[in-house]
Structure formats: C-alpha cells, structure tokens
Amino acid sequence: MASDLFSLDGKVALVTGGSRGIGKMIAKGFLEAGCRKVYITARKAAACDATAEELGPNCVSIPVDISTVEGCKMLTERYLQHEDKLDILLNNAGAAWGAEFEEYPESGWDKVVDLNMKSPFFLTQALYGTLKASGTHERPAKVINICSIDGIRLNPQETYAYHASKAGLIYLTRRMAARLIRDNIVVSAIAPGAFASDMNRVARDESEMVAKRIPGRRIGTDEDMQGVAIYLASRAGDYVVGETIAVDGGVALAQLGA
C-alpha cells in the first residue's frame, strides 16, 4: 500500500556523525518513521550520549572515532554486541578544512579525506556481513552516503580536500552500488546544500543572508533532510541504486544557468 512506502517499522539503523547536525536530524527522522533502534556514533562521547538520551530509549549511543580503519572495525565490533543484522547504514560523519592554496596543510587534507571518503568505504566493508544478512531481493539493506553539493559544483571557499572528498564519495557511491546490489544492498547518496549545523555555521548564523543566494529562498530544514533520507531508506527507495540526490533548494542548478 502507498501508505506503507515510507515506513521504517522494525528496521535498525546506524548513523555516523549522529550526535549533531544532519546526522542528528536523520536519526530523529528514522525513529519517527518507525525504526526499532537507531544507533548513533560520534567521536565525542559526551555529545553522542546526550543526543541519544534526547532522542529517547530507542536511540543508542556508541561513541567511536571512525577516522581510521581500526576505528571502523571497533565500531562494528561494538555494534555487533547489540545486533546481528543491520538494515540501514548512514555514512554521515565528515569534516571540512579551509586554507589558502599556498598554505593548505597535509594534516588538513588527510583529516578531511580520511573521514569523508575513506571511512564510508571501510565502515561499509566492516559491516558488509551484517548488511548482507539483512537484505533480500524484496527488501534490500541500505547504505546512504552523505555527500555535498560541493562535490557537484564549486564553492568559492578554498576547501580543497572537502571538494575533492565529496566529489570522490559521489563516484564511490556508484562503484559500491554496482558491486553490492548483487548482495541485496542498495547504495545511494544525498548531497545537501545549506543546512544549519556546526559545520555550516554561516547557514546556521546568517540564514537570511544565505537564503538570498538560494533559488528556493531559504536554507534547508530538518524535514527536508529527513524526507529524502527516509525515502531512500524505505521501500520507496528500493529501486534507486547508485544515485546521488541533491537537496539544496536549486543551488547546483542555478550555477549551471538553469
């Protein structure tokens, strides 16, 4: 029935970077759409625990730094202490670094690329068995990568590693999707535009100014992000394989002159 298309009843999700910003928005949306449990992870334990407490008893905190392959394996081990299957993996944890071209540091490059592009791959690899155990032809498991419109079009800021990592994640999504669909795991992605968060402080603190540059004349809301994430995670998105959906109020299209 159409009324069941967007239901997540009984599903189990794991959201990285789930203590704040877009990750927190989506974790809350998954719970409201019916998930039995939503596990969130973040580097800062206190923040992760506080968000889980705020979102209620069906949200469980597993604080881990997943910027390394070892961290991805550690998160998997801790998750498997709670569950033996995983229906939805949302790879959201990310970082940004801005500096002028002549001064852009290797440390900033490595931090951003490792967390934004390497971690989604190796965490999905570590959780592959649990995702495969959950998926069927009729109801595949889901991996949703959070990319950015900065991977689609240029931002005037000198965020070299961020641009490169998010563009790379969009194509990595396609490569992973082509392989994992045979195991009943659907991989897709979301490319957010301006949403208020600690990472996008300009959108958070100067929303009216930012909105003037957006064709939709506003920044994104929690519901905008929750809607597309629930769509991809639910039955409604089962046949969407390897695609990246821009959720940006038309910014990327405007740059193309549409």
Q: Catalytic residue numbers? A: 162
| The token pair that represents 182 in the structure block | 């045979």
Owner of token pair 């994104």: 220
What DSSP letter does each residue of 16-79 carry, written as one string? ETTTSHHHHHHHHHHHHTT-SEEEEE-S-HHHHHHHHHHH-TTEEE-----SSHHHHHHHHHHH
C-alpha–C-alpha distance, residues 93 and 175, integer Å: 20
CA 166 vs CA 65, 68, 93, 192, 245: distances in Å: 20, 18, 12, 11, 13
Angle at 174 between CA 238 and CA 153, to 5 degrees: 110
For the chain, how far is it from start to end, CA to CA, in angstroms?
36
- Which residue type does 7 have? S
**Do 162 and 97 touch, CB atoms closer than 8 A?**
yes
Using an 8 Å Cβ cutoff, are 160 and 104 in contact? yes
116: left (phi over 0), alpha (psi -120 to 50) or beta: alpha
Amino acid letter, residue 54: E
As a dihedral over the C-alpha atoms of residue 198, residue 201, residue 203, residue 205, rounded to 10 degrees, the angle is 110
